[in-house]
A and B are shown apart, each in its own frame.
Chain A
Amino acid sequence: MKEEIYLVEGMTCAACSGSVERVTRKMDGVERSDVNLVTKQMTICYDESKVTPEAIMKKVERAGFQASLWNPDAAKKEEKETVGRKTVIFSLLLSALLMYISMGQMMKTPLPVPHFLDIHANPAGLALTEFLLTFAVIILGRDFFLRGFKALKSKSPTMDTLVAIGSGCSFIYSVIITALIVRGRGSAHDLYYESSAMVIALVMLGKFLEAGSQKKTRGAIEALMALTPETALVLQDGEAREVPVAMLKHGDLLLVKSGARFPADGIITEGSCSVNESMLTGESLPVEKSVGDRVTGGSVSVSGAVTVQADRVGKDTTVSQIVRLVEEAQGKKAPVSRLADKISAVFVPAVIAIALVASVVWSIAGQDIGFVLRIFTSILVIACPCALGLATPTAILVGTGLGASNGILIRSGECLETASSVDTVVFDKTGTITTGVPVLTGMYPCGDTDRGRLLALAAAAEERSEHPLAKAVLAAAEGMELPALSDFAPLTGLGVEAKLPGGGMLLVGNARLMRERGIDLSCGSATMEEAGSKGETAICVAAEGKLLGILTAADSIRPTAKEAVSQLRAMGKDVVLLTGDSKAAAEHTAKLAGIDTVFAGVLPHQKADTVRTLQEGGKTVMMVGDGVNDAPALTQANVGVAMGGGSDIAVESGDIVLMHADPVSAAKAIRLSKHTMRHIRQNLFWAFCYNTITIPVAAGVLYPFFGILLNPMIAGFCMSLSSICVVLNALRLRRKKL
Chain B
Amino acid sequence: MITLSVPDMHCPNCVKRIQKSFDGEGLKCSIDLDKRTVSVEDGDVTAAIELLDDLGFEAKA
Chain A interfacial positions (CB closer than 8 Å to B): 10-13, 15-16, 18-23, 26, 59, 62-64, 150-158, 345-346, 349
- B34 A154 Cβ-Cβ under 8 A: no
Instruction: Given A63-B17, A64-B17, answer yes or no on A156-B12 (Cβ-Cβ < 8 Å).
Output: yes
Which of A62, A151, A153 contacts B55 (CB under 8 A)? A62
In the complex, what residues of B have CB within 8 A of residue A62's CB? Answer: 21, 54-55
Report if B14 contacts A (CB, 8 A): yes
How far is B14's CA from A20's CA once the two chains are assembled, in angstroms? Answer: 11
Instruction: Given A63-B17, A349-B34, answer yes or no on A158-B12 (Cβ-Cβ < 8 Å).
Output: yes
List the count of A-B residue pairs having beta carbons below 8 Å apart: 80
- B15 A22 Cβ-Cβ under 8 A: no
- B10 A19 Cβ-Cβ under 8 A: no
How far is B33's CA from A11's CA once the two chains are assembled, in angstroms? Answer: 18
Chain B 1-27 per-residue mask, 1 if CB under 8 angstroms from chain A, else 0: 000000011111111110111000000
In the complex, what residues of B have CB within 8 A of residue A19's CB? Answer: 8, 14, 17, 55-57
Q: How far is the CB of B54 from chain A (nearest CB, A)?
A: 5
How far is B20's CA from A63's CA once the two chains are assembled, in angstroms? Answer: 10
Return 13 A-B CB contacts under 8 Å, by A number: A11-B13, A12-B13, A22-B56, A62-B21, A63-B55, A64-B13, A64-B20, A150-B12, A151-B11, A154-B15, A156-B13, A158-B11, A346-B10
Q: How far is the CB of B34 from chain A (nearest CB, A)?
A: 6
How many residues from B make CB contacts under 8 Å with A? 23
Chain B 22-60 per-residue mask, 1 if CB under 8 angstroms from chain A, else 0: 000000000111100000000000000000011111100
- B56 A63 Cβ-Cβ under 8 A: yes
In the complex, what residues of B have CB within 8 A of residue A11's CB? Answer: 13
In the complex, what residues of A have CB within 8 A of residue B21's CB? Answer: 62, 64
Instruction: Given A64-B21, A155-B34, A156-B33, answer yes or no on A18-B56 (Cβ-Cβ < 8 Å).
Output: yes
In the complex, what residues of A have CB within 8 A of residue B56's CB? Answer: 18-23, 63
Which of A20, A23, A26, A156 contacts B11 (CB under 8 A)? A156
- B11 A12 Cβ-Cβ under 8 A: yes
How far is B2's CA from A698's CA once the two chains are assembled, in angstroms? Answer: 42
Q: A19-B17, A20-B56 are in contact. List 15 more A-B contacts (CB 8 A).
A: A13-B10, A13-B13, A15-B8, A15-B9, A19-B8, A19-B57, A21-B56, A22-B57, A22-B58, A63-B54, A64-B16, A64-B20, A151-B11, A154-B31, A154-B33
Which single residue of chain B is at the shortest CB-CB distance from A19? B56
Q: How far is the CB of B13 from chain A (nearest CB, A)?
A: 5
Most buried by B among A21, A62, A156: A156
How far is B17's CA from A171's CA once the two chains are assembled, in angstroms? Answer: 32
Which single residue of chain B is at the shortest CB-CB distance from A16? B13
How far is B12's CA from A167's CA once the two chains are assembled, in angstroms? Answer: 20
Q: How far is the CB of A352 from chain B (nearest CB, A)?
A: 11
Q: How far is the CB of B11 from chain A (nearest CB, A)?
A: 4
Q: How far is the CB of A144 from chain B (nearest CB, A)?
A: 14
How far is B57's CA from A26's CA once the two chains are assembled, in angstroms? Answer: 11
- A64 B34 Cβ-Cβ under 8 A: no
In the complex, what residues of B have CB within 8 A of residue A23's CB? Answer: 53-56
In the complex, what residues of A have CB within 8 A of residue B31's CB? Answer: 154-155
Instruction: Given A62-B54, A64-B21, answer yes or no on A15-B32 (Cβ-Cβ < 8 Å).
Output: no
How far is B33's CA from A152's CA once the two chains are assembled, in angstroms? Answer: 10
- A155 B32 Cβ-Cβ under 8 A: yes
In the complex, what residues of A have CB within 8 A of residue B57's CB? Answer: 19, 22
In the complex, what residues of A have CB within 8 A of residue B33's CB? Answer: 154-156
Q: How far is the CB of A386 from chain B (nearest CB, A)?
A: 14
- A13 B11 Cβ-Cβ under 8 A: yes
- A18 B54 Cβ-Cβ under 8 A: no
Which single residue of chain A is at the shortest CB-CB distance from B11? A13
How far is B19's CA from A223's CA once the two chains are assembled, in angstroms? Answer: 44
